[in-house]
Amino acid sequence: GMVLRADVLAAAIDAADIVPNRPRLLMSPRGRPLTQAEVVGLAAGPGPLIVCGRFEGIDQRVIEARGLEEVSIGDYVLSGGEIAAMVLIDACVRLLPGVMGKQASGTEESFSEGLLEYPQYTRPQEFEGRQIPEILISGDHAKVAAWRQAQSEALTQARRPDLWSQKARRQRTKNTTDG
């Protein structure tokens, strides 16, 4: 397989890195998993310099010499880091002010509170025999909020036990430090 040459890639990184103290990321299946919390931090900062390998990746010496942090978008391998970089960029850009319209649009989503997002519904009220849950059309905002919270918790427990365990650990830690 092909490995990008150290001297050529280092020169490209040096030429592109014109913003001081910005994160230098290498999209890699060996990296730590990208999280929403990290995306929020990256979106609030000066923007990362993103390096993408191709096929076998890049020379290890460049990773060390240029202080690249390896980041992964999932437990699978792509032909190159370009698609992973696009995922990272899209996740960050959508958090920039004005991109999604209302700033609140990004606050109640999967991972924003360590949970998956609750189900969404729209018109018509009945679709192929399936109804919108009554609570959502009740007009009782407190009950709607409680329903959404319960749905988020149930979905997270069922589909992402890893996230549910992390949330439970954070809650135990919070209760220990508060009490």
Per-residue pLDDT tens digits for 58-86 = 999 999 999 999 999 999 999 999 999 99
| Percentage with pLDDT > 70 across the chain | 96
Q: Does residue 115 lie within any of the structural domains?
A: yes
Q: What is the rounded distance in angstroms from the CA atom of residue 175 to the CA atom of residue 179?
A: 6
Question: How much is the average pLDDT of 16-32?
Answer: 95
Q: What is the rounded distance in angstroms from the CA atom of residue 55 to the CA atom of residue 80?
A: 6
Question: How much is the average pLDDT of 85-111?
Answer: 84
Q: Are 37 and 65 part of one and the same domain? A: yes
Q: Are 13 and 88 part of one and the same domain? A: yes
Q: Does residue 154 lie within any of the structural domains?
A: yes
**Tens of pLDDT, residues 145-160:** 999 999 999 999 999 9
Q: The CATH number of the domain where 65 resides is what?
A: 3.40.1280.10
Q: Work out how many domains the chain is built from and give that number.
A: 2
Q: Are 67 and 11 part of one and the same domain? A: yes
**Res. 172: pLDDT tops 60:** yes
Q: What is the rounded distance in angstroms from the CA atom of residue 53 to the CA atom of residue 59?
A: 9
**Could you tell me which residues are beta bridge partners of residue 72?**
33
**Which residue range(s) make up the domain with 35?**
6-93
| Percentage with pLDDT > 90 across the chain | 81
Is this structure's pTM higher than 0.85?
no
Q: Are 136 and 60 part of one and the same domain? A: no
